[in-house]
Amino acid sequence: MPRPSDSLWDIAIAEVQKKENAGNEEDPEAAVHSERSVFFIGNKNGGKTSIILRCLDRDEVSKPTLALEYTFGRRAKGHSTPKDIAHFWELGGGTSLLDLIRIPITSDSLRTFSLVLVLDLSKPDELWPTMENLLQKTRNHVNRVVADVGKANSKLANQIKQNMWQSMPKDHPDRELIDPFPIPLLIIGSKYDIFQDLESEKRKVICKTLRFVSHFYGASLMFTSKSESLKTVTRSYINHLAFGLDRSKSVVVDHNKPLLVPAGSDSLSQIGSPPASSSDLRQFSGSTPMELWKNVYMRYFPPQNARDRKDLKDPAKDPQYAESEVDAMRAQKDQELEQYKRNADKSWKSMVLESHTR
């Protein structure tokens, strides 16, 4: 029975769980299964939906994600055991719908929650702003959720904080120099087939920058494209987050090849300094290594002024969500609004006229 405080997403997840448990009521052991959540964020049209469909073996044509979408996947552990469930969330609109991040990340889901940031490598000028805004907003929200958990259960909150360091070996030389993301993070650079046509120097800058950011946050990093081999590797990483399956342990850091850097396998000494001369580095302002890398990256790829929100289409006018009765009422309300604007404009003009004649 849904609670009054339940959102649409809470009800949808409850329905999935209800269907999964419907046939297992007579077998107590069959009710034992794991559930994990994977949240996809990133550039608009960056390939998030395609990655999810590929991992779920769904041969469908991907459609643009307008807001926040949910789907799920199941995987059996064996012939007689229950199926594990993975909840897949996807945020559309690039950085224009950041407030929706709070919907899937809750105190109930946090312990089994992972984040996948998909960055469009064919748009290097959008890469840093997208990455910075999404990760910052998500991290702030996760920290608030952990703080709320700590008020009720300090032991659980401490456990969540300790889990942040699981991807980093205890003897790693950079443990004191990094700041792990509060939940497991995978950064995927999409459209590598287009990216590889960039100039070698630009590819090197992008690769080194993403390696630094991923290492600093204790995240895994990989590039993908339409190549079947890269699709397979991408799927293994997503299945690792969604179902706990083994993932590829290969390491590729050559900027002339698609990167594949598991969390904890890189180091600041291997990455090196930001791609700038010593004199240039002294001129850049920045109180932290992250700010320094940002300033160097921005010199190579200045961000455009256009914002995602300007390009976001109105969902109410999208034909895939057509509802005749709702659309008719919406049209009527739009007409009433326009009439109100015209009347208000006339009233304002008459007031101004009167003030001038006095």
Q: At 58, is the secondary structure helix, strand, or coil?
A: coil
Q: How many residues does the chain have?
A: 358
Q: What is the DSSP letter of 31?
A: G
Tokens 């290594």 belong to which residue? 289
pLDDT of 78 reads: 63
At 31, is the pLDDT very low, low, confident or very high (cuts 50, 70, 90)? very low
pLDDT of 116 reads: 97
Q: Residue 305 pLDDT more than 70?
A: no
Packing angle of the helix pair 124-152, 154-163 (nearest 10 deg): 150
Give the containing element (helix H, strand E) for 104: none
Instruction: Give the model confidence (pLDDT) of 265-287 as tens digits.
Output: 999 999 999 988 777 777 776 67
Contact indicator for 240, 234 with CB cutoff of 8 Å: no
Token output for 159: 């456990």
Token output for 24: 């297992």
Kindly state the average pLDDT of the residues 182-210. Answer: 96
Contact indicator for 264, 168 with CB cutoff of 8 Å: yes
At 321, is the pLDDT very low, low, confident or very high (cuts 50, 70, 90)? low
Instruction: Give the model confidence (pLDDT) of 204-251 as tens digits.
Output: 999 999 999 999 999 999 999 989 999 999 999 999 999 988 888 899
Q: What is the DSSP letter of 84?
A: E
Token output for 77: 């552990």
Per the model's pLDDT, the better-predicted residue between 173 and 303 turns out to be 173
| Kind of pairing between the strands at 220-223 and 113-120 | unpaired
Q: Which of 142-156, 277-291, 300-314 has the lowest mean pLDDT?
A: 300-314
| Kind of pairing between the strands at 113-120 and 260-261 | unpaired
Contact indicator for 116, 188 with CB cutoff of 8 Å: yes
Contact indicator for 218, 164 with CB cutoff of 8 Å: yes
Task: Report in angstroms the alpha-carbon separations of 142 from 67, 73, 115, 167, 174.
Answer: 20, 24, 11, 18, 24
Q: Is the dihedral of CA 154, 156, 162, 164 positive or negative?
A: negative
Instruction: Give the model confidence (pLDDT) of 43-72 as tens digits.
Output: 988 999 999 998 888 877 777 777 899 999
Packing angle of the helix pair 228-243, 48-55 (nearest 10 deg): 80
Per the model's pLDDT, the better-predicted residue between 143 and 343 turns out to be 143
